[in-house]
Amino acid sequence: MVKCSHCGTEIIGDSFFCNDCGQTYCHMHQVPLNHECDIIRESMTSHQIETPDLNYDEYSQVSVTHQEQEFSPTVVRGTTGGSYTWYRQDIHVPVDAFDPGSGIKFKGILLAHKSEFLHLLIAAILIYLIGFMIFYDPALTSQGYGWAPFMLAGIYMTAFLSHEFGHRQVALHFKLQTKFRLLAFGMILTAFSLIVGLFSLLFPSFPPLPSLALPGAVVVLGLEKISNKTGLCKAAGPLVNLVYGIILYTISFLVPKDLYPLNYFFIVSAYLNFMLGAFNMIPFGILDGQNIWKWNRKVYVSLVLALGTLLISTLIIQQSASLINILYLP
């Protein structure tokens, strides 16, 4: 049975040969970045193995000293079939890393060692305020629908929080340390959105400006670069938005037409969830899509198709007066 040259596991199914380093890998490590191809090629050209009988399981560990505030990594040196030497840095997460006494310094996180409830409360209030500013319309109040902005702001807030809780609960399922945390950069974007929203309220004649509420995110410690744990944790957020949106979509058709525009606002709420889920599926930067694409492309394509189809359908309904008249008006 062929073994993966990176992780040493027996390959079940297709194996992948890398022309750059000349090694065979499983589907999880077929991408050069995932099997550290550049390091392997450097090792092959600059280091000769004197003991070719070594196998993957025989290795020595060298501890590396870092500042107390950072994680304590261990550099693991080993061989695969005696052909080259590879180096991999394993991060060991201390117990209770979020505790103030752990000595861990979290970069880019505000109030890092405060309670998770406080972080969630601040994030929820900020998102709700931005949502209210986005959906506030004097015309709704004049027509007797002053409750609508409060409802839509609440859905906007729960769409964000449910997305993050999806990540959090899957991480807890895998017994990983995880908490919701306010992010410094995200708070800057959120503060800008608050200013934009306030400007729109004070000067309604100006065209609406884009807003982005991203005060924080769930921080998970101990995830590997690409693995089932990473993929499932990342996919949980968009999946929760998909399910939440489908529920709201269904409710919009079940609410009696006599209660219009309540039924219509449910379709708007569904749209918000599909939009948030689809946005996070963009395979770029820190968004969920990048890790999901590397982990399982079938899952990625399935989520994108489902979210994209429902997003477009809800958008078409909102933009079509005839469809609104048929589906929602009494």
Between 4-13, 154-163, 302-311, 316-325, the lowest mean confidence (pLDDT) is in 4-13
Domain endpoint, select from 206, 222, 238:
222
pTM of the entire predicted model:
0.70
pLDDT, tens only, 37-80: 766 766 666 544 444 444 434 333 333 333 334 444 444 444 44
The domain tally of the chain equals 3
Q: Are residues 177 and 263 in the same domain?
A: no
Q: Are residues 113 and 215 in the same domain?
A: yes
> Mind spelling out the 3-state secondary structure of the chain?
CCECCCCCCECCCCCEECCCCCCEECHHHCCCCCCCHHHHHHHHHHCCCCCCCCCCCCCEEEECCCCCCCCEEEEEEEECCCCCEEEEEEEECCCCCCCHHHCCCCCCEECCCCCHHHHHHHHHHHHHHHHHHHHCCHHHHHCCCCCHHHHHHHHHHHHHHHHHHHHHHHHHHCCCEEEEEEEHHHHHHHHHHHHHHHHHHHCCCCCCCCCCCCCEEEEEECCCCCCHHHHHHHHHHHHHHHHHHHHHHHHHHHCCHHHCCHHHHHHHHHHHHHHHHHHHCCCCCCCHHHHHHHHCHHHHHHHHHHHHHHHHHHHHHHHCHHHHHHHCCC
pLDDT, tens only, 100-124: 777 777 788 888 888 899 999 999 9
Q: Are residues 161 and 181 in the same domain?
A: yes
pLDDT, tens only, 68-101: 344 444 444 444 443 444 444 445 566 777 777 7
Q: Are residues 158 and 249 in the same domain?
A: no
Decide if 32 is inside a domain: yes
Domain endpoint, select from 157, 191, 222:
222
Q: Domain range for residue 258?
A: 224-325
